Amino acid sequence: MYHLSKRYRYVITPFSSISLSDRLLFGIPKKGRLHEHCLSLLNGADINFYRHNRLDIAPVSNLPIALVFLPAADIPKYVADGNVDLGITGQDMILESQAEERVEQLLDLGFGKCKLQVQVPIKSNIKKVEDLVGKRVVSSFVVLASAYFEELDKKYLSDDQKKEGKKTKIEYVSGSVEAACALGLADGIVDLVESGETMRAAGLHAISTVCNTEAILIRNKHSSNDSLIAKITSRIKGVIAAQKYVLLNYNIQRHSLSKATKITPGRQAPTVSPLDNGDWVEVQSMVCKDEVAEIMDKLEEIGAKDILVFKIDNCRV
């Protein structure tokens, strides 16, 4: 049992009652696509916790924080209303909850990347998004879908149709949205697409994009614990940077150093150390993981030797 009001926060576990009043509350998606990513982020940031079976509040053992496991869709509202201080959710959920003005967005987290798209059956005669205007659309994102089609209605419905009160009908379903067209519930849907596998399996294709989304760290604007929030943000930033970068180490002749540092400028500047053999220097530089193969090719071309790539476990940048 737990209570999340500002005045009286506590959690009763099967073994004890833990006061939450001195703890910063951090909302984490309790299931779904963001859950595992969040757990690995917490692990990388050395935020240690033990979660009792079935309990949605877990005190952190090494910091004055309690994790609150909540549906991703509810996290923007909890953060905006100050029931929790900090949270991770999707950008799409923030927009759908109309919370973008009421929370502070601290950090894009680089996972949970996908698009909210308008989809129709491949075999349907609806080919463009304007062909859907005035028809039936089903979505879990009714706020975003309604705002999107309201603009299209204004543009594409005739004056007579507007006078008759005709508009695109947006209906809510909570999941398995892709089944709606086959079931005869809708002419089109608005739902998330990442690989496109679910969409294609349902015989659908995308005809327009409502928005792009990724996971984001948000905070309540009035939360009092700025220093702890800054500490968590900085740790998470370090984990993300460590996942994004690798450390490149190589040797190069001094006369090629200026060419080399253009290829690996580092975040501030590369570290350059002389080797015993006076002609050569050793260079160390952080580079983007995605670009490392190309960078190694370029370094080889200008005569770099002993090029080594190291994984970064954690960092502060």
Ligand X SMILES: Nc1ncnc2c1ncn2[C@@H]1O[C@H](COP(=O)(O)OP(=O)(O)OP(=O)(O)O)[C@@H](O)[C@H]1O
To ligand PRP, the closest distance from the beta carbon of 119 in angstroms equals: 10
Subset of residues 13 to 72 that bind ligand X, contact rule: CB under 6 A: 31-34, 71-72
To ligand X, the closest distance from the beta carbon of 34 in angstroms equals: 5
Continuous segment of H or E residues that includes residue 223: none
46: left (phi over 0), alpha (psi -120 to 50) or beta: left
* CB burial readout 2-19, b (16+ within 10 A) else e: eebeeeebebebeeeebe
Contact 72, 32 (CB under 8 A): yes
Given 198, 233, 256, 261, the residue binding ligand PRP (CB under 6 A): 198
Residue 304, interface with ligand X (CB under 6 A)? no
Continuous segment of H or E residues that includes residue 209: strand 204-213
Subset of residues 206 to 225 that bind ligand X, contact rule: CB under 6 A: 213
Q: Which of 146, 191, 190 is nearest to 168 (CA)?
A: 146
Q: Which does 90 bind (CB under 5 to 8 A by kind): ligand X, ligand PRP, none?
A: ligand X
Instruction: Rank residues 153 and 214 by Cβ distance to ligand X and give the closer one.
Output: 214
Phi, psi of 313 (to 5 degrees): -75, -40
Subset of residues 78 to 107 that bind ligand X, contact rule: CB under 6 A: 90, 92-93
72: left (phi over 0), alpha (psi -120 to 50) or beta: alpha
Going by their DSSP bridges, the two strands 24-29 and 86-90 should be labelled as parallel
Residue 193, interface with ligand PRP (CB under 6 A)? yes
Residue 246, interface with ligand PRP (CB under 6 A)? no
Task: Convert residues 17-56 into a mask of x (bound to ligand PRP by CB under 6 A) and - (unbound).
Answer: ---------------xx-----------------------
| Binding residues for ligand X (CB under 6 A) | 31-34, 71-72, 90, 92-93, 112-114, 175, 192, 194, 213
The residues of the shown chain that bind ligand PRP, judged by CB under 6 A, are: 32-33, 175-176, 178, 191-199
